[in-house]
Each structure stands twice: as structure tokens, then as C-alpha cells.
Homo-oligomer: A and B are copies of this chain.
Amino acid sequence: MNLEELLKIESKLSAQKKLILNLIVTANRVNEELAEILKPFDISSQQFNVLRILRGQKGKPANLSTIQERMVNKMSNTTRLVDKLIDKKLCERIVCPANRRKVEITISENGLKLLSEIDPLVESFENSYAGKLSEEELNNLNIKLNELRS
């Protein structure tokens, strides 16, 4: 369905306006669907994102600024986000011995286990969602999106 229909917009929008709206609306839907997938596991998409970043460290601990830099949506309060994960025993935090201002955050066994349960569900969503386009179209789309962010 095109944007004008979807949002019941009567006037004709410029391609530029449409792009901005399209990006926001499309990403919102994706976020909603991801949240739905994660809900049974009692974890928000932000928390899921942090867990995946921690796993990507491959055992090496991460500090808060590293996590923040890699998060898809930079949010201000990474401390409390990590607090939640610790409450759920999905990760651990110790004060960095070399520099006591820093903290070292690592994913726990529980966290890894949870991710391994969620992974296939998310992947299957990604594939079915993106499956509406061919591999070539996807590559092209990714390139254009990269250009937009430049």
C-alpha cells in the first residue's frame, strides 16, 4: 500500500517528503514486529540490541561508551538499560581494574542462551520481511540507504 493511501493523505507529496515519511513509517512497523517477537521473552528491542552487541565482543568485555556507540538507537541511559539486563541475569558488570572510571560488561551464559533461542525467530522475520524483494533489489536498497545517511 502506498503512503498516501496508508495515511489517508489527499494532497500529492513530493518524492522527498514521501521518502522521509516512508522511512519513518516502515521502520516503525519493523520495530513493532520485532517488539512482538521479543515480548514472550520479556525483553525490549533495546535490551536485545545490547545483548547482541555484548555477544559480538566474543568474550571481550565492553564498557558503556562502546555499547552506546554501537547501538542502533542511541539512547541516553545505557546505565539503566544494562541494569535491567543484570536484574535478569543476562549480563554482568564489574569495575574495570585498569581504569576504575570504566565498567566492564559481559554477556552471561543465560544471555547467550536467550539469544540463541531468539535468533532463529528474528532471522525468520528478517527473511520473510525482506523476502518481498530480490537479493539484487535488497543490495541496491541498502546502498541507497547508506548514501542517505552520508
Residues of A bordering B, CB below 8 Å: 1-3, 6-11, 14-31, 34, 56, 69-70, 72-74, 123, 126-127, 129-133, 135, 137-139, 141-142, 144-150
Contact = CB atoms under 8 A, between A and B. Distances in A.
B1 A146 contact: yes
B132 A147 contact: yes
A38 to B, nearest CB: 14
B149 A133 contact: no
Contact of A21 (B14, B25, B72): B72
List the 3 closest A-B pairs by CB distance, nearest first. A27-B27, A16-B130, A15-B138
Contacts of A21: 72
A20 B146 contact: no
B15 A139 contact: yes
29 contacts: A1-B146, A1-B150, A2-B146, A8-B70, A11-B56, A14-B126, A15-B142, A16-B130, A16-B131, A16-B138, A17-B123, A18-B138, A19-B130, A19-B138, A20-B129, A22-B145, A22-B146, A23-B27, A23-B145, A24-B30, A24-B72, A24-B73, A26-B145, A28-B72, A130-B148, A132-B148, A132-B150, A133-B144, A141-B144
A149 B6 contact: yes
A16 B130 CA distance: 5
